[in-house]
Amino acid sequence: MRVYANKEEMMVELAGKSARDVVWSATPTPLLADGALDDAGLERLCSQHQRLGVSGLFLAGSCGEGPFLPNRQRAELVRKVRQLAGGTFHLAVQVSDTSPARVRENIAEAAESGADSVVIAAPWLVRFVNRDFARRFFLESLECACPVPKGIYVIAQPAETGMDCDFWREIAGHPQVAYLKDSSGSAEYRRAFVQVKARRPELALRTGCEFDVLSAMRDGYGGCLLGTAIFNGAMIARAIAALETGDEDAARAWQDRSNRLLYDLFRPDISAWMSGLKYALRAAGLFSTEFSHLAYPLADDDRRRIDAALQREREHIGLC
């Protein structure tokens, strides 16, 4: 693990690493059938991301089933990945919860466990949230003392919560926000965040929309943070590299190829999201089980389609 002279040094590096070829993975968490961490799966998870050239791991996010992990297990996850990976990856940890007080506790725990940065998403139980609570939730969480940089995870929320584009624009402009993951899929949100970055050049923008990374890159984003990068990280890196050289056809071809793989894993309506991903990870020999806390359906036809997709793309998803 690299030791930084101060937080400002790390924030400068975060901004510098937001070059367009950066792919971070909001990685799934390998679990045993009883819900315990799969240690062998963690080793293979780190090796897989190294093969694909991923430079950052986002632990305990939505794809990592973070809201379902006990605090002690989330801390154990961070410690074990840090021990396995050393300084190979930037380790970001999602710390969102139901109140600013709980978020502050999670921030302290994540930093102590070895996180390089922490990420705050919308509060759990979002259906009970209004704009005033949401502002206090983020501002009190962002303004607490913390030895590592903080990021935010942006995803469109129900209108009644008050967390609209103007709200996220305000939060992104806070001086304690080092980077954001934007999974809104909204051109309006992208424009807003690019405007914030014009005022705050140190802010790193990463898209979380794996099905359309290229639009964010064209709009000025510096990288991506994808819940599917454990499989499509190399494909998306190639799409971004082609975009950088002006080869729009190649960029689109790699994005389309990635999308075909993801639809095979999740179904076109994404109704087999976590179950399809966990099955694919077990079928590929990366995870020991398919265990997930989420009960997305999976049928035999899905398994056959996923098996065929993994075989078709072995060369490009790090399985050769």
Question: Residue 19: pLDDT above 70?
Answer: no
The full set of domains in the chain, from first to last, is: 7-247 (3.20.20.70)
For the ranges 12-26, 48-62, 181-195, which has the lowest average pLDDT? 12-26
Report whether 87 contacts 56 (CB < 8 A). no
CA atoms of 247 and 258, how far apart (whole Å): 17
Backbone angles phi and psi of 17, in degrees to 5: -80, 0
- Please state, in angstroms and rounded to a whole number, the distance separating the CA atoms of residues 47 and 12: 27
Structure-token pair, residue 59? 């632990």
Q: Using pLDDT thresholds of 50, 70 and 90, give the confidence band for residue 320.
A: low
pTM over 0.85, yes/no: yes
User: What is the average pLDDT across 234-238?
Assistant: 96
Using the predicted structure, report yes or no on whether residue 217 has a pLDDT greater than 80: yes
pLDDT (average), residues 101-127: 95
Q: Higher model confidence: residue 11 or residue 255?
A: 255
Q: How does residue 319 score in pLDDT terms, banded at 50, 70 and 90?
A: confident
CB 20 within 8 Å of CB 216? no
At 82, give phi and psi (nearest 5°).
Answer: -60, -45
The predicted-structure confidence for 119-159, as pLDDT tens digits, reads as follows: 999 998 888 899 999 999 999 999 999 899 999 999 999 99
Residue with tokens 């996923």: 306
The tokens of 291 are what? 């265990």
Question: So what's the pLDDT on residue 43?
Answer: 98
Paired residues of 31 in beta bridges: 37
Residue 12 has pLDDT above 80, yes or no: no
Mean pLDDT throughout 62-85? Answer: 96
Averaged pLDDT for residues 219-247: 96
* 49-58 pLDDT per residue, tens: 999 999 999 9
Would you state the structure tokens that stand for residue 29, as one six-digit string?
């968490």
The Cα–Cα gap between 79 and 243 comes to 36
Phi then psi dihedrals of residue 180, to 5 deg: -140, 150
Q: How many CB atoms lie within 10 A of CB 101?
A: 12
13 pLDDT higher than 50 = no
